Structure 1
Amino acid sequence: MDDTYNDLDALPNNPDIAEALGNVMIVWAYAEAALSFAFASIAGMPINMALAGFYRIPTFEARTNTLLAFSQEWTPDKPEKKDQAVKLIENLKRLSKTRNDWVHGIWCQSNRTGEIVTFHLRAPESSGRRRKPIKAHDINDHVQHVRASAEKLRGIFPAVID
């Protein structure tokens, strides 16, 4: 018998997944703050001015691309900072694709097994990504990776609010 799915509007029977998704929201706000401080430092401007410009850039991908472009002209006090910062920004950019899959996917539950999945109808069927099982463990893993990159980025660009 083929599995059928109903789309979800909440996760009342899956509090572990719901909690993990809440942590995704918080850790990505933390990561965006780290990127904002990087932008301010690399562009050589006060944080309030940097924030005004950074958040006028319409998408996360465009923000990280802008930051990576600015970093090409950046001359830090220690040359290794540049390579480290670029790698961390690129890592957050890569990780954002997983977040986007969760945010923009269609959340469903199997009528037969109760398994929670997301469907990505924009993805080609041949990619194997159309239906992806969702596990709290995987989401928590993602949160840890985002947090680690953001913390390292904040180590290079500490929060300075004037």
Structure 2
Amino acid sequence: MLKNFVILEVNVRDIYVIKDRCVLCNLCKEVCPANCIFDGEESVEINKEKCMFCGRCVKVCPTKAIKLVRKVRYLEDGEVKEREIKKYVDIFYNYRKCISCLICVKNCIFGAMSIEENKFKDKIVIDKKKCELCGKCEEICPTKAIYLKGV
């Protein structure tokens, strides 16, 4: 059964430190143009209010302790939720698994899904320029014919 689902905001940026990976080398502090990284007890910490989300700290971190992520914020059955959008993710469609129920087309608020009529079986077409990789189509597809995958 489908839930009430409304996209509130796409590309919500967030940054965080995986504390047990941080070795306090301070390379991130040296390259930060916003001067928002400071020493915490176990690791560096980031002032998200000052952060410009430029990613320089992520690039210089030798232990990959700093993660910069994009999220989609949505309302589902009255509750605000967030889901991370993987940076190197693409959307895929398996024609053989699809049952042409059109649930994805009807529920894509970005208008990225359409139907291509075929003599034997209709085919879903995904406009990757419109798709925001929110993952809702993957979640609601009854046969998992649509899926997001790292590339």
- Structure with more relative contact order (C-alpha pairs < 8 Å, separation 6 or more): 1
Q: Which has the higher helix share?
A: 1
TM-score by length of 2: 0.30
Bigger radius of gyration: 2
Q: Which has the higher strand share?
A: 2
TM-score by length of 1: 0.29
